[in-house]
């Protein structure tokens, strides 16, 4: 497309289908301890 | 819901409900803005006729339509419908924050743990309590394979033999229970030795090393009990840890306050020292503290995040790339909607354990008697607290429902909300404003990186 470059598509809709396994890291265990930071966590469900 | 913003020469459009992110030209940016406020294509076409040529406008309309058809623009919120089932979900405990030591060898001015004591007396976790905590986790984690144990304090290295004993005990149980333990530790670095660093590198999935940045900034808030700064004492040890872990799986973590509103220079100082994994975060403090961040500080802090983002691009060009925790964002393989709705999982999936074995919703609730949930000996007793936290999600927080950043943030810190308003369903506005700014910067950097523009 000429007027738009898509950085990422509809990832949230898709994640509704397979999400929720809970194997990912708890956000507060990564670094923060004083602020909730979820968007930078990585999904561990490769299926 | 759409959120659009300009950063430098880049026009960024977020479709909140789908998670799609688009970089658009000026014309499309204007069109989307007008569509969002309800203007018709005819109205838009007429209002833009003096600025753009008709064929270009038509072409842009076609591209908008294509994105809408592909459910990447102006998508509706489908998640309200899953909230009810979501609240009923079975949860297991998958992560514990072990308060190995309610004592500390520093006297940091902003410490929410009150120099490690958490509103109580100085105390150390025994190996017996630690083992019970491991058993509690094994017996309450259902089929979850990856389990997390964070060694926290106070300062956990003041009780390091117990840390070693707990790691050994948990590892011996992994095969029998078909679990994989991931250990992390948060330390101020004062007691680090070659032997301890070796143990940490052999056993810890992640290490969080506390340092605030420039020497004068660090020493002001992180003195030893005799009032001397701790920067010179810890820096060589922290550098040693970072190098010995090949600059991976660790964070140097600092706190910025009203005293260093130019905190980007602290981040850059840490980068210049050679650290590659950096997190410097806003202090959370009552308004009556001199070092607390104030609403009038926000414009300065926003400028600092902008400045830091541009500096990170320069550092990358010069081959001195580093990660800044709050600018990291995983747009493609990021967390699922369930994770984004539940946030940190405090009080249900994630619990804190005191040196005596008492259970709390998270480390920041420790010492608030009303939030004590049980003990590693008798298990969870206050199921009402668990239910309260389980029901707390993006759509139970009024402020989050209309916020464009909700799926990036996860609803904010429940402890901050409780400490400021006495209610975990509230949000702490200062944190919200900073989080939104950081998400904008993170996406901007991701776009620069992806498109090499």
Q: In the structure encoding, which two tokens stand for residue B103, read together?
A: 């004592």
How much is the pLDDT for A19?
A: 64
Report the chain B residue with the minimal C-alpha distance to residue A39: B408
Report the chain A residue with the minimal C-alpha distance to residue B338: A20
How much is the pLDDT for B295?
A: 95
CB B266 within 8 A of CB B213: yes
Domain locations in chain B as residue ranges = 2-76, 91-327, 392-453
From the list A6, A11, A33, the residue facing B22 with the nearest CB is: A6
pLDDT at B131 over 80: yes
How much is the pLDDT for B258?
A: 97
How much is the pLDDT for B89?
A: 75
CB-based burial label for B323 (10 Å; 0-12, 13-18, 19+): middle
Partners of B149 in the β-ladder? B96, B183
CB B360 within 8 A of CB B366: yes
Report the chain A residue with the minimal C-alpha distance to residue B71: A10
Are the beta carbons of B331 and A22 separated by less than 8 Å? Answer: no
Report the chain A residue with the minimal C-alpha distance to residue B186: A31
How much is the pLDDT for A46?
A: 64
What number is the average pLDDT over the span B318-344?
Answer: 89
Strand B95-99 versus strand B146-152 pairing type = parallel
Contacts of A42 in chain B (CB under 8 A): 330, 333-335
Return all residues near B387 (Cβ < 8 A) that are at least 6 apart.
none
Provide the CB-side half-sphere exposure for B336 (13 A, CA): 18
What percent of chain B shows pLDDT beyond 90? 85
Are the beta carbons of B330 and A40 separated by less than 8 Å? Answer: yes
pLDDT at A43 over 90: no
Contact B156/A at CB under 8 A: no
pLDDT at B116 over 80: no
Contact B68/A at CB under 8 A: no
pLDDT at A16 over 80: no
Partners of B204 in the β-ladder? B183
At B227, the pLDDT band (50, 70, 90 cuts) reads very high
Name the 3-class secondary structure at B2. strand
B324/B310 Cα distance (integer angstroms): 13
At B82, the pLDDT band (50, 70, 90 cuts) reads confident
pLDDT at A20 over 90: no
At A18, the pLDDT band (50, 70, 90 cuts) reads low
Our CA-based measurement puts residue B430 at a distance from the nearest CA of chain A, in whole angstroms, of 11
What number is the average pLDDT over the span B307-316?
Answer: 98
| CATH superfamily entry for domain B91-327 | Aldolase class I (3.20.20.70)
How much is the pLDDT for B313?
A: 97
CB B364 within 8 A of CB A34: yes
pLDDT at B119 over 80: no
Contacts of A23 in chain B (CB under 8 A): 144-146
Contacts of A16 in chain B (CB under 8 A): 78-79, 82, 336-337
Contact B333/A at CB under 8 A: yes
- Mean pLDDT of chain B, nearest integer: 94
Give per-residue pLDDT as tens, B372-400: 999 999 999 999 999 999 988 888 899 99
Contacts of A47 in chain B (CB under 8 A): none
Q: In terms of pLDDT, which residue wins out, B4 or B114?
A: B4
CB atoms within 10 A of CB B178: 8
Secondary structure percentages of chain B, helix, strand, coil, to 5: 45, 15, 35
Contacts of A17 in chain B (CB under 8 A): none
How much is the pLDDT for B325?
A: 93
Q: In the structure encoding, which two tokens stand for residue B317, read together?
A: 């060009």
At B120, the pLDDT band (50, 70, 90 cuts) reads confident
Are the beta carbons of A4 and B24 separated by less than 8 Å? Answer: yes
How much is the pLDDT for B157?
A: 98
Q: In the structure encoding, which two tokens stand for residue B145, read together?
A: 């394979």
Interface with chain B: mutation pick from A19, A35, A41, highest number of B CBs within 10 Å: A35
Give the single-character DSSP code of A40.
T
From the list A25, A36, A39, the residue facing B413 with the nearest CB is: A36
Secondary structure percentages of chain A, helix, strand, coil, to 5: 25, 10, 65
From the list B251, B335, B412, the residue facing A31 with the nearest CB is: B251
Q: In the structure encoding, which two tokens stand for residue B43, read together?
A: 């109205």
Our CA-based measurement puts residue A42 at a distance from the nearest CA of chain B, in whole angstroms, of 5
What number is the average pLDDT over the span B114-135?
Answer: 89
Give per-residue pLDDT as tens, B367-379: 999 999 999 999 9
């Amino acid at each position: 497309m000429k007027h738009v470059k898509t950085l990422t598509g509809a990832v949230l809709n898709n994640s509704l289908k397979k999400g929720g396994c809970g194997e990912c890291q708890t956000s507060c265990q990564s670094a923060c301890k004083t602020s909730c930071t979820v968007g930078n966590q990585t999904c561990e469900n490769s299926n | 819901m759409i959120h659009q913003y300009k950063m430098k020469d880049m026009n960024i459009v977020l479709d909140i409900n789908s998670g799609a992110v688009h970089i658009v030209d000026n014309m499309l940016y204007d069109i989307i803005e007008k569509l969002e406020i309800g203007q018709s294509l005819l109205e838009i076409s007429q209002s833009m006729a003096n600025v753009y040529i008709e064929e270009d406008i038509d072409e842009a309309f076609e591209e908008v339509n294509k994105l809408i058809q592909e459910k990447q623009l102006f998508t509706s919120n489908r998640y309200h419908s899953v909230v009810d089932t979501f609240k009923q979900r079975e949860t297991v405990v998958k992560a514990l924050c072990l308060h190995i030591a309610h004592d500390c060898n520093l006297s940091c001015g902003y410490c929410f743990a009150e120099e490690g004591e958490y509103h109580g007396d100085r105390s150390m976790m025994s190996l017996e309590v630690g083992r019970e905590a491991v058993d509690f986790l094994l017996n309450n984690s259902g089929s979850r394979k990856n389990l997390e144990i964070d060694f926290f304090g106070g300062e956990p290295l003041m009780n390091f033999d117990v840390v070693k004993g707990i790691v050994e005990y948990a590892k011996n149980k992994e095969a029998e229970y078909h679990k994989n333990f991931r250990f992390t530790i948060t330390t101020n670095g004062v007691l680090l030795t070659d032997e301890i660093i070796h143990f940490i590198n052999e056993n810890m999935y992640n290490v969080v090393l506390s340092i605030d940045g420039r020497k004068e900034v660090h020493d002001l808030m992180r003195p030893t009990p005799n009032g001397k700064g701790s920067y010179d004492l810890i820096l060589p040890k922290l550098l040693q840890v970072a190098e010995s872990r090949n600059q991976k799986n660790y964070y140097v973590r600092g706190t910025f306050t009203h005293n260093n509103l130019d905190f980007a220079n602290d981040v850059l100082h840490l980068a210049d020292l050679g650290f590659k994994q950096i997190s410097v975060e806003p202090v959370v403090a009552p308004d009556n503290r001199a070092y607390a961040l104030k609403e009038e500080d926000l414009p300065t802090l926003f400028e600092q995040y902008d400045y830091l983002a541009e500096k990170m691009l320069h550092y990358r060009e010069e081959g001195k790339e580093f990660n800044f925790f709050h600018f990291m964002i995983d747009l493609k393989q990021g967390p699922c909607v369930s994770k984004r709705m539940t946030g940190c999982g405090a009080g249900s999936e994630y619990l804190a354990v005191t040196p005596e074995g008492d259970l709390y919703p998270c480390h920041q609730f420790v010492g608030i008697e009303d939030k004590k949930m049980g003990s590693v000996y008798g298990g969870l007793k206050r199921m009402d607290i668990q239910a309260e936290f389980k029901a707390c999600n993006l759509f139970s927080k009024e402020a989050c429902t209309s916020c464009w950043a909700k799926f990036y943030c996860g609803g904010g810190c429940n402890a901050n909300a409780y400490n400021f308003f006495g209610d975990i369903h509230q949000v702490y506005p200062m944190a919200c404003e900073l989080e939104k700014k950081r998400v904008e910067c993170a996406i901007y950097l991701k776009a620069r990186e992806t498109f090499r523009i």
